[in-house]
Every structure is written in C-alpha cells, then in structure tokens.
A = this chain, B = another copy of it.
Amino acid sequence: MDGQYAHIERRRQGPKRSDASRDAILQAVRDELADNGWRSFSVDNVARRARASKQTIYKWWPSIGALCVDASLCLIQDRPVEINRIEDHLAHIIWPLEQALHSTKDTYVLRAALLAAADDEKAGEELRQWVKTEIRTPLRMVLADLSNRKTIHRDWDIDSIMDALLGPFWNRLFIMNSPIPRGFSAELATQVFKKLKR
C-alpha cells in the first residue's frame, strides 16, 4: 500500500529539498482527495499517508488549498486532439479538462481542488494563474488568429467566451453533479464558434 510513495525507501535527508518527499506528498494529496473528498481532507492524514512531516508540508506550500491545486491541476494534462475543422482549435483548449473529468477518481480530485481554491485566496490565485496560462492565453491566440484571418468577428470578449467554454463544466461538476459526456468540449466549441462566425 505504502510502496507507491517512493521516498519511503530513500535514505537521503539533508540540506537539499527532497524531491521524493515532494512527490510522495503530492500523490498522497491526490489519493486523499479521491478517497475522502475535500470535506474530510486533513493535513495530518496527508502527512501520515506520505510518511512526511507536517512541517515539511507547511514549509513548501503557502496554504493547504494551494497544495491541493498544485497536486491536482497536473491531472489536466495536454492531450493530443485531432484537428479537422476550424472550431477544433477551440475544442483543443478545453479537451484536456473533459478528458480528466472522464475519470471518476480524477473528477473527485479536481472537484475537491477547485473547491479548495474557491475557499482560499492563495489557492484561488494559483488556480487563476493556471487558467491564464493554460486557457486564457492559448484561447486569445486562437481567437486573434481567427479574427485576423477574418473567419470570425473582431468584437469578441475573451471573458464571455471563457464563461461559455468553462461554465458548463462547473455547472455539471459543482451544481448538478452530473457526468460530462464524451464530445462535451467539442459541442461547446462548436456553439461558441457559431456565435462568433461572421
């Protein structure tokens, strides 16, 4: 059971930060969130599971929520997507989110991490930073390119488009507790594209 937490077999302890310890903590966070959710998440349990000291956790992360966000957002990894139509450029940006939410375990982890972020200022900043680099910036580039090529109107509002692309995920994840079907991101992208097409 504990074997998955790699650093346990390690002997090194010294004046350099232990990557093994870091990895074990992040993995333990994900496992705890998947098993128990955000409500009964506790630093003590993470430390016990990772065979790490609470001190080590508090030393390297500014808040518990930030730790959760840090541990979880890596689940939304860049994934290859086939691009056949113009609107697939939009879909490509939110496709990793759909992918992550197809996994039940990852769904639990992400929901918990996003709740943590909504509850904790530092974690919120970390989340918004992620949104900026992973969603907003790529989205802006795609939209700028399309409008430059006169494929879409020029008067788009990036925040409204993000609302339209991301919001439906949150409505299912937080409010309705209903699953994300396959093709969800493609459908969203299509609708947004229709709205923008000249």
Considering only CB atoms, which chain B residue lies closest to A64 in the complex?
Answer: B39
Stretch of A18-26, A123-131, A146-154 contacting B (4+ beta carbons < 8 Å): A123-131
Considering only CB atoms, which chain B residue lies closest to A174 in the complex?
Answer: B118
B195 touches A128 (CB 8 A): no
Considering only CB atoms, which chain B residue lies closest to A128 in the complex?
Answer: B176
Stretch of A3-11, A84-92, A99-107, A156-164 contacting B (4+ beta carbons < 8 Å): A156-164
B120 touches A39 (CB 8 A): yes
Q: How many residues of A contact B (CB 8 A)?
A: 36
Q: A167-B167, A167-B170, A191-B195 are in contact. Are A175 and B128 (CB under 8 A)?
A: yes
Q: Give the dominant DSSP class at A's interface.
A: helix
A187 interface residue per 8 A CB criterion: yes
In the bound assembly, the distance between CA atoms of A166 and B174 in angstroms comes to 11
In the bound assembly, the distance between CA atoms of A115 and B116 in angstroms comes to 9
A145 interface residue per 8 A CB criterion: no
Which residues on the B side are within 8 Å of A131 (C-beta)?
175-176
A169 interface residue per 8 A CB criterion: yes
A16 interface residue per 8 A CB criterion: no
Which residues on the B side are within 8 Å of A128 (C-beta)?
175-177
Which residues on the B side are within 8 Å of A29 (C-beta)?
none
In the bound assembly, the distance between CA atoms of A112 and B46 in angstroms comes to 25
Of B38, B160, B162, B171, the residue contacting A187 (CB under 8 A) is B160
Q: A39-B120, A131-B175 are in contact. Are A169 and B168 (CB under 8 A)?
A: no
Within 8 A of B (CB), among A105-122: 111, 114-115, 117-120
Which residues on the B side are within 8 Å of A195 (C-beta)?
191, 194-195
A178 interface residue per 8 A CB criterion: yes
What are the 7 A-B residue pairs with the smallest beta carbon separation, nearest first? A167-B167, A163-B168, A170-B170, A167-B171, A167-B168, A118-B174, A39-B119
